[in-house]
Amino acid sequence: MLIKKSPNRLRAVISFLLLALLIFSIKLVLIQIFKSEHLRKIAQKQHNLLLELEPERGVIFDRHMRPLSTNLPAQSLYAVPTKIKNKDTLSGRLAEITGQRKDFFLERLSRKKAFIWLARKLTDRQYDEIKKMNIDGLGFKRETKRYYPDAELASQIIGFAGLDNVGLEGIELNYDKYLKGRLGWCMILRDAKQQGIMLEEEFVPPKDGYDIVLTIDETIQFIAERALDESFKKHNANGASIIVMDPKTGEILAMANRPTFDLNNFDNSIAESHRNRSICDFYEPGSVFKIVTASAALEEDKVKETDEFFCENGSYKVGNHILHDYRPHGTLTFKEVIMQSSNIGVTKVAQILGPELVYKYAKLFGFGSLTGIDLPGEVEGQNKPPEKWSKTSIGAVPIGQEVCVTAIQLVTALSAIANDGIQMKPYAIKRIQDKKGETIKEFFPQEVRKVISEKTASRMKDILEAVVAAGSGRGANIPGYRVAGKTGTAQKVENGVYSHSKFRATFMGFVPVEDPKLAIVVTFDEPHPAYLGGTVSAPVFKKVAEDALKYLKSIEGMELSRLK
Residue 24 lies in a domain: no
Mean pLDDT over 112-131 rounds to 86
At residue 449, does pLDDT exceed 80?
Answer: yes
Query: Which pLDDT score is estimated for 51?
Result: 66
- Interval 327-336: pLDDT, tens: 999 999 999 9
In a domain, 204, yes or no: no
Average pLDDT for 461-470: 97
Q: Are 485 and 476 in contact (CB under 8 A)?
A: yes
CATH number for the domain that contains residue 91: 3.90.1310.10
CB 274 within 8 A of CB 164: no
Kindly state whether residues 165 and 307 are assigned to the same domain: no
Report the alpha-carbon angle 205-210-214, nearest 5.
165
Share of the chain above pLDDT 70, in %: 90
Average pLDDT over residues 370-378: 96
* Residue 519, helix vs strand vs coil: strand
Amino acid making up residue 529: P
Looking at per-residue pLDDT, the higher value among 381 and 117 belongs to 381
The pLDDT of residue 48 is: 57
**Statement to judge: residues 223 and 178 lie in one domain:** no
For 480-507, write each residue's pLDDT tens digit. Answer: 999 999 999 999 988 888 998 999 999 9
Last residue of a domain, one of 183, 202, 232: 183
Distance CA 466, CA 474 (A): 9
Residue 406 lies in a domain: yes
pLDDT tens figures, 278-327: 999 999 999 999 999 999 999 999 999 999 999 999 999 998 889 999 89
- The pLDDT score that the predictor gives to residue 419 is 98
Q: What is the pLDDT of residue 17?
A: 77
Give yes or no for residue 1 having a pLDDT over 90.
Answer: no
Cα separation of 100 and 119, whole Å?
9
336: domain CATH number?
3.40.710.10
* One domain, residues 152 and 293: no
Among residues 183, 199, 232, which one ends one of the domains? Answer: 183
Return the percentage of the chain with pLDDT > 90, whole number.
69
Asked whether the predicted pLDDT for residue 50 surpasses 70, the reply is: no
Q: Are residues 160 and 233 in the same domain?
A: no
Residues 332, 461 share a domain = yes
Task: Provide the total of helices (H) and of strands (E) in the chain, helices listed first.
Answer: 18, 23
pLDDT tens-digit profile of 55-107? Answer: 889 999 999 999 999 998 888 898 888 888 888 889 899 999 998 898 999 89
Specify the pLDDT at position 199.
46
Q: Which of 132, 167, 183 is the last residue of a domain?
A: 183
Distance of CA 493 to the CA centre of its chain: 28
**What local confidence, expressed as pLDDT, does residue 7 receive?**
72
> Which residue range forms the structural domain that includes residue 125?
50-183
Asked whether residue 26 is domain-assigned, the answer is: no
C-alpha distance from residue 406 to each of 241, 254, 364, 383, 492 (Å): 10, 16, 15, 12, 15
Residue 136 has a pLDDT of 86
Q: Please give the full DSSP string across 75-110, using - where no structure is assigned.
A: EEEEE-GGG-S-HHHHHHHHHHHH---HHHHHHHHT
Is residue 24 predicted with pLDDT exceeding 90? no
Are residues 478 and 344 part of one domain? yes
Mark whether 133 and 65 lie in a shared domain: yes
What pLDDT is attached to residue 36? 63
| pLDDT given at position 183 | 82
Nearest 5°: phi and psi at 434?
-85, 180
Query: Residue 189 falls within a domain, yes or no?
Result: no
pLDDT digits (tens, 9 = 90+) for 192-241: 454 444 444 466 788 999 999 999 999 999 999 999 999 999 999 999 99
Distance of CA 224 to the CA centre of its chain: 16
| β strands within 191-279, DSSP E | 196-204, 211-214, 239-245, 252-258
Where are the alpha helices (H) located in 58-186, listed in sequence order? 87-98, 102-109, 124-133, 155-158, 170-174, 176-179
Return the pLDDT at 290: 97
Which residues lie closer than 8 Å to 496 by C-beta, 6 or more apart? Answer: none
Say if residue 430 is in the same domain as residue 552: yes
The answer to whether residues 484 and 465 touch, using CB atoms and an 8 Å cutoff, is yes
Whether 310 and 172 map to the same domain: the answer is no
Kindly state whether residue 536 falls inside one of the protein's structural domains.
yes
What's the pLDDT at 35? 61
- Per the domain annotation, does 413 fall within a domain? yes
pLDDT at 41: 57
Q: Are residues 174 and 66 in the same domain?
A: yes
Residue 34: what pLDDT?
60
Q: Which pLDDT does position 9 carry in this prediction?
A: 74
Residue 201 lies in a domain: no
173-188: pLDDT as tens digits:
999 999 999 888 776 6
Residues tagged active-site:
287
Mean pLDDT, the chain, rounded, equals: 90
**Would you place residue 145 in the very low, low, confident or very high pLDDT band (cuts 50, 70, 90)?**
confident
On whether both 164 and 285 belong to a single domain, the answer is no
Instruction: Please check whether residue 344 is in contact with residue 330, taking contact to mean a CB–CB distance below 8 angstroms.
Output: no
Lowest mean pLDDT among 29-43, 259-273, 431-445: 29-43
Total domains, the chain: 2
**DSSP three-state, residue 446:** coil
373 and 435 together in one domain: yes
Distance CA(188)–CA(383), nearest Å, equals 62
